[in-house]
Amino acid sequence: MKHIARKRFGQHFLKDALVIEAIVSEIAPQAGDVMIEIGPGLAALTRPLVERLGQLTVIELDRDLAVRLREQPQLDVVESDVLKVDFSALAERLTPGKIRVVGNLPYNISTPILFHLLDHVAVVQDQHFMLQKEVIDRMVAAPSTGDYSRLSVMLQWRYAMENVLFVPPESFDPPPRVDSAIVRMVPLAEPPAIDLQRYGQMVQVAFSQRRKILRNTLGRWLDEQGFTGEFDLQRRAEEVPVHEYVSLAQAVQK
């Protein structure tokens, strides 16, 4: 029976064989890799991954699709909302090393998924995700550009990222109304030590009114934290490089 894409799950199923081959080439799965796929759907990407890996863990929320996936003995199916999956515990069950995470993420909850995985980055070797292209543009953006945002600052302190492949709407069934792309995310080997919750709060305040200078937003927050150090507040949030946000967060922690 043909599976009908469910709008509430943000389902758009990849169908273009050449695009699938290109994605797998970018992921470069190797025998022995412990990989987890988020949202395998109709297994368009799952099948070629399994051929190279031998086995694969998949996370699928749609009950009907999970039933189909369980028919394949090489798949370990976790039927769950990905935002409720403890990736650290899952990694501990699967391997003494680190996991590789891939997936065509539901565009309606892609940012919450990225932030959820940030909490488990210590067990991750790398991540390759299909996302809305404009989201990836924000993820990899440089300071003082229109795409530089809270998402840029929250992810770039911890990952080296690059947009590795453009994917047009006609590669899917049904086609989304937006362009898509593949992002590669590799956790930094020696990330700066910060209080992630405090850092996240600081960045959110800074970008809360991104057109105003930081004195009107972040300045007040810094005063509340008792910060007495030096920081140029005569800039907009989008003008501050990631390393300066990191240094400020570290100074506030002291």
Point out the annotated binding site for S-adenosyl-L-methionine.
12, 14, 39, 60, 81, 104
The count of C-alpha atoms lying within 13 angstroms of the C-alpha of 193, restricted to the half-sphere facing its C-beta, is 2
Considering only the C-alpha atoms of the chain, give the largest distance between any 2 of them, rounded to a whole number of Å.
65
Quote the CA–CA distance of 183 and 128 in Å, as a whole number.
Answer: 6
Nearest Cα residue to 248 out of 234, 233, 236: 233
In Å, what is the CA distance from 189 to each residue of 120, 153, 186, 210? Answer: 14, 18, 9, 31
Q: How far apart are the first and last CA of the chain?
A: 60
Find where tokens 């810094």 sit: 222
CA 69 to chain centre: 24
Residue 96 main-chain phi, psi, to 5 deg: -80, -10
In Å, what is the CA distance from 113 to each residue of 103, 148, 223? Answer: 11, 19, 32
Exposed / middle / buried, residue 96 (Cβ in 10 Å: 0-12, 13-18, 19+): exposed
Q: Which residues are annotated as a binding site?
A: 12, 14, 39, 60, 81, 104
Interior/surface letters 173-201, b for 16+ CB within 10 angstroms, e for the rest: eeeeeeebbbbbbebeeeeeebeeeebbe
Which amino acid would we find at residue 172? F
